[in-house]
Amino acid sequence: MLLGYARPYRWVLLLGAVLSLLTGAAGLALPLVARQLIENLSADRAITGALILMSVLVVTNAVLGALGSYVLQRTAESVVLSVRRALASYLLRLRITALDRSEPGDLMARITSDTTLLRAVTTDSLVGFGTGGLTLLATLLMMGIVDLPLLGVTLGVIVLAATVVGVIVPRINKASKQAQESVGLMGAALERVLGALRTVKASGAEHREEQAVHAAAHESWRQSVRAALWSALAGNTAGLSMQVAFITVLGFGGARVATGAIDIGTLVAFLLYVFYLMAPIQQVVAAITQYQVGAAAVARIQEAERLPAEPAFPAAPLPGPGAEPASVTFEDVRFRYAEDLEPVHHGVTFTVPPRGMTAFVGPSGAGKTTVFSLIERFYDPTGGRVLVDGTDVQDWEIPRLRAAIGYVEQDAPVLSGSLRDNLLLGAPDAGEDRLREILETTRLTGLVAQLPLGLDTLVGHRGTKLSGGERQRVAIARALLRRPRLLLLDEATSQLDAVNEAALRDTVAEAARHTTVLVVAHRLSTVTMADRIVVMDAGTVKAVGTHGELVASDSLYAELAATQFLSSVE
């Protein structure tokens, strides 16, 4: 798992570890040269050679040390970078079903916070485990050479300590995972509030929302403190075990000296090794405990990478001017948003030929927006088929399918950034002339002229600096700029005033002459203009026809016509 992320960097990590070991070796050589220097002094010999050697060693030590720690930290940052990149790309390809089940704030925490934890782990933990483990083995080897029975005693103590640490380690992992989970919860709670701060303020809900954020932050603190406690215990167990080993070796070794099995020099040498063992053992234990924190982060990163995502196809070019309009067919489509939810479509069937305008009408919740979601392949039907140009959307490469479509969502989303960014979002290569032309047809020219920075004015988070009607016109302009072969408008003009609505209606009618237009309609003016009307009710198609036919033949349509949208006729 974690090793998998560090794998591409294994040689650099090894280099860093070797540099660290060399630094240590250079440090160890220093006392020897110092001894030489003093001997030279007392023997009245020249000390220049020793002095130069010492300076070289000191400088080498410093350079190697700096280089080693730079290489290791750089590698750690590279691991974080590559994980962040991979995760960000993956999250952008997530299926909408996965997003329906997740909190964006939590997903964000996984990229920003969890990946950061990998930094310390790659260097400190992996390298610490390597160098510490190596030193540990070497020291044990030396101990074995000095006296095998005493080594046995020492190993006994180590095994005992290892068992205790082994019990503690999973707890560190669990607490770290929960701490990170709480960071995710905090991210989600914050995103929820900041994403709808006006509503929160208007509802006077700041204090309650604040408590949710605080609770998550506190829980993260609590779990981190727990992890710290267990880590401290593990570290101290390691320290304690060495003290115990020292005393045991002293006692047992003393007895062996008394019986004459070993001499006192052997015992002293062995005790020195026990002393030397302390540092690498603590290093290894620290590496193991720290690894748990990283492993918890990795588990959360991998959880996100297991969410269903769309296949990674290359981006598709836009159809371009003069492309043939698309046809759309629904064949007995059945659909539910999730296993545990009621079906939303119970066998929806209709056909839309290329060109012309088709209006979808029906009560709220009938499944009209869902029709568009299925065409865009945000979801897959549970039964039946959705065909675009006679091909099942499942058999389309998703980017090619979406490149053919211009979609104005029901709430006309606008992204933070400039007006220009928003317009060019779906057609980054559109020229300035074309942009001017679309601004004209969507009646945005006046707005742009008014704005202090024109097209470069920033529109705020989710376009809060625009009015609802302006947002809708921006969304329509964005869709038209793509020159779609299929235009989907979901109540796209609901917030426009009468004058703008009439103008946009002409624009849409004009578009319908060379592309296929599907609109979820809410005004009689749109409906009467449509070439065909699909009446939807509770997830089925009740009737298809023109306004004249349906008023006479369909009771639901007649009722809708009389009450819902006909009342808003200008």
Query: Which CB sits closer to Mg ion, 216 or 519?
Result: 519
Both structure tokens of 401? 């399918």
Give just the sign of the alpha carbon dihedral 295, 300, 305, 308. positive
Minimum CB separation of residue 377 from ligand ADP in Å reads 14
Dist. CA 20–CA 272, nearest whole Å:
23
Instruction: Considering only the stretches 406-414, 422-430, 471-479, 501-509, report the one whose residues sit in contact with Mg ion under the rule CB under 5 A.
Output: 406-414
Minimum CB separation of residue 366 from Mg ion in Å reads 8
How many residues lie near ligand ADP (CB under 6 A)? 12
Instruction: Name which of ligand ADP, Mg ion, none residue 483 binds, using a CB cut-off of 5 to 8 Å depending on partner kind.
Output: none
DSSP state of 309: B
Kind of pairing between the strands at 486-490 and 328-335: unpaired
- Closest Cα to residue 474, out of 494, 444, 496? 444
Give just the sign of the alpha carbon dihedral 337, 341, 344, 347. positive
Task: Please check whether residue 362 is in contact with residue 537, taking contact to mean a CB–CB distance below 8 angstroms.
Answer: yes
Dist. CA 525–CA 164, nearest whole Å:
78
Q: For the chain, how are helix, strand and coil distributed in percent, rounded to 5?
A: 65, 10, 25
Instruction: Considering only the stretches 200-208, 291-299, 359-367, 466-474, report the one whose residues sit in contact with ligand ADP under the rule CB under 6 A.
Output: 359-367
Instruction: Name which of Mg ion, ligand ADP, none residue 367 binds, using a CB cut-off of 5 to 8 Å depending on partner kind.
Output: ligand ADP
Query: Which CB sits closer to ligand ADP, 49 or 365?
Result: 365
Residue 323's identity, in one-letter code, is: A
Query: Which CB sits closer to ligand ADP, 348 or 481?
Result: 348
Minimum CB separation of residue 1 from Mg ion in Å reads 43
Instruction: Considering only the stretches 26-34, 202-210, 289-297, 367-375, report the one whose residues sit in contact with Mg ion under the rule CB under 5 A.
Output: 367-375
Q: What residues does 518 pair with on adjacent strands?
A: 358, 488
Burial class of 202 by CB neighbour count within 10 A (0 to 12, 13 to 18, 19+): exposed
Instruction: Considering only the stretches 22-30, 216-224, 364-372, 451-459, report the one whose residues sit in contact with Mg ion under the rule CB under 5 A.
Output: 364-372
Read out DSSP for 200-239? Answer: HHHTT-HHHHHHHHHHHHHHHHHHHHHHHHHHHHHHHHHH
x/- letters, 362..401, toward ligand ADP (CB under 6 A)? x-xxxxxxx-------------------------------
Dist. CA 536–CA 534, nearest whole Å:
6
Instruction: Considering only the stretches 83-91, 368-376, 507-515, 546-554, report the one whose residues sit in contact with Mg ion under the rule CB under 5 A.
Output: 368-376
Query: Which CB sits closer to ligand ADP, 367 or 406?
Result: 367
Instruction: Name which of Mg ion, ligand ADP, none residue 341 binds, using a CB cut-off of 5 to 8 Å depending on partner kind.
Output: ligand ADP
Query: Which CB sits closer to ligand ADP, 364 or 450?
Result: 364
Of positions 283, 369, 373, 516, contacts Mg ion by CB under 5 A: 369
x/- letters, 479..508, toward Mg ion (CB under 5 A)? ------------------------------
Dist. CA 523–CA 520, nearest whole Å:
10
Dist. CA 57–CA 49, nearest whole Å:
12
Minimum CB separation of residue 520 from Mg ion in Å reads 6
Dist. CA 551–CA 199, nearest whole Å:
40
Query: Which CB sits closer to Mg ion, 44 or 342?
Result: 342
Instruction: Name which of Mg ion, ligand ADP, none residue 325 binds, using a CB cut-off of 5 to 8 Å depending on partner kind.
Output: none
Query: Which CB sits closer to ligand ADP, 220 or 373?
Result: 373
Both structure tokens of 330? 């629904």
Minimum CB separation of residue 330 from Mg ion in Å reads 16
Minimum CB separation of residue 366 from ligand ADP in Å reads 4
Minimum CB separation of residue 540 from ligand ADP in Å reads 12
Both structure tokens of 422? 């928003």
Minimum CB separation of residue 336 from ligand ADP in Å reads 8
Q: How many other C-beta atoms are found inside a 10 Å radius of the C-beta of residue 513? A: 11
The residue to which tokens 């601004």 are assigned: 439
Instruction: Name which of Mg ion, ligand ADP, none residue 100 binds, using a CB cut-off of 5 to 8 Å depending on partner kind.
Output: ligand ADP
Query: Which CB sits closer to ligand ADP, 343 or 354?
Result: 343
Instruction: Considering only the stretches 239-247, 256-264, 299-307, 408-416, report the one whose residues sit in contact with Mg ion under the rule CB under 5 A.
Output: 408-416
Minimum CB separation of residue 379 from ligand ADP in Å reads 8
Task: Please check whether residue 163 is in contact with residue 286, taking contact to mean a CB–CB distance below 8 angstroms.
Answer: no
Residue 100 interacts with ligand ADP (CB under 6 A)?
A: yes
Query: Which CB sits closer to ligand ADP, 151 or 366?
Result: 366
The residue to which tokens 């979801």 are assigned: 379
Residue 339 interacts with ligand ADP (CB under 6 A)?
A: no
Query: Which CB sits closer to Mg ion, 107 or 520?
Result: 520
Both structure tokens of 497? 């005033």
Dist. CA 23–CA 17, nearest whole Å:
10
Dist. CA 538–CA 557, nearest whole Å:
14
Residue 359 interacts with ligand ADP (CB under 6 A)?
A: no
**Going edge to edge, which strands form the sheet with 516-520?**
405-408, 486-490, 516-520, 356-361, 532-537, 540-545
Who contacts 96 (Cβ-Cβ below 8 Å, separation ≥6)? 373, 378, 379
Query: Which CB sits closer to Mg ion, 351 or 410?
Result: 410
**Binding site residues, ligand ADP, CB under 6 A:** 100, 337, 341, 344, 362, 364-370
**Binding site residues, Mg ion, CB under 5 A:** 369, 410
